[in-house]
Structure 1
Amino acid sequence: MTGRSVQLEPAAGSDLDDVRSLLRANDLPAADVGANADSIYRVIDEGDLVGLGGVERYGTVGLLRSVVVTEANRGEGYGTAICDALEAQARSTGVETLFLLTTTATEFFRERGYEPAERTAVPESIRQTNEFTDLCPETAACLRKDLAEKRDGDRFGSTPP
């Protein structure tokens, strides 16, 4: 399915238990969810949690993390829609480059325009995150995407010049 649109809802309070459960069920890091709750968003469709994701912002760079779709909703376009929404939101707050680590979704992100990046070339602010230092293995693929070039005319939430 293409063209799906989603709304991001900040995860807070009792929502964090659902976030942790969904992350753990999909072998994604959940240990620092409470410390980074302000950067995690739930995606609700017709009253049901269908997925989540987050962006930790560090100036003009950000860490895309914890993008996951519930098993029952996979293949429906939610993963793409969640990434579109997170990238648009990051762009609107001044993030020019997103980085991520993944052990299972390299091809998905490559198809979205993310390119391989050497961990040593990632900005220090991102390399110091729990995701990089403790939660993801060294074998995880490190990817980056420039957002700045898509500011004007972006169909997912352009920012005026």
Structure 2
Amino acid sequence: MKIEQADKYRESIIALLTAEKLPVADLPDQLENFAVSKKGDEVAGVIGLEIYGDYALLRSLAVNINFRNQGIANKLLLHIEQLAAAKKLKAIYLLTETAPGYFTRKGYQTITRADVPAQVQQSSEFSHVCPQSAIVMLKFL
């Protein structure tokens, strides 16, 4: 498995996120803070960050069903956390409906929407893409 910067894999990323019922309409034009996991010629997984000042919003963590249970999500998450730390960000926020247990095991804690910095709250993910029922989580770096 190889982790690469995501820009040249946009079509594959959109297909994977769509298959996993994750939002694609607000995917940034430039995927400079996104990474993919490659298995041969195929995109096996994807993860991304949106950066807002000193904070990041983790989004679009997905692994192709054919490549699950191989540690790909863990490797992608570690990669993106290292990227955030290298950028001197203070914390990573995320919204999830399906994986709070996974993120808790990775050191994230559940918080309220009110605890999220205003610049992150104003992102499209927070303001209108993800439902109000999504769980909000945080990890300090």
Amino acid at match of 1:39: N
CA drift of 1:36 comes to 5.3
CA distance in 2, matches of 1:80, 1:8: 15
> Over alpha carbons, which structure has the higher Rg?
1
Following TM superposition, the consecutive aligned residue runs of length 4 or more in structure 1 with deviations greater than 3 angstroms are none
CA drift of 1:64 comes to 0.6
CA distance in 1, matches of 2:108, 2:129: 21
Distance change in 2, residues 1:104/1:86 (3 Å): same
| Corresponding residue of 1:58 | 52
Q: Does 1:7 align with 2:7?
A: no
| Corresponding residue of 1:135 | 129
**Alignment: residue pair count:** 141
CA drift of 1:86 comes to 0.4
Return the TM-score normalized by structure 1.
0.82
| Deviates most, 25-34 or 66-75 | 25-34
Amino acid at match of 1:101: L
CA drift of 1:6 comes to 4.5
Structure 2 stretches lacking a partner, 5+ long: none
Q: Equivalent pairs: percent with the same residue?
A: 28
Amino acid at match of 1:7: I
Root-mean-square deviation over aligned CA pairs: 1.5
Among candidates 6, 10, 13, match of residue 19 of structure 1: 13
CA distance in 2, matches of 1:34, 1:19: 12
Instruction: Check the 8 A contact 2:13/2:43 in 1, yes or no.
Output: no
Q: Does 1:144 align with 2:125?
A: no
| Corresponding residue of 2:63 | 69
Amino acid at match of 2:26: D
Mapping for residues 95-114 of structure 1, pairs under 5 Å: 95-114=89-108
For the residue of structure 2 that corresponds to 1:7, the secondary structure is: strand
| Corresponding residue of 1:156 | none
Q: 1:6-41 CA distances to partner (integer Å, 9 max, x unpaired)?
A: 5232324xx222111111110111111144533322
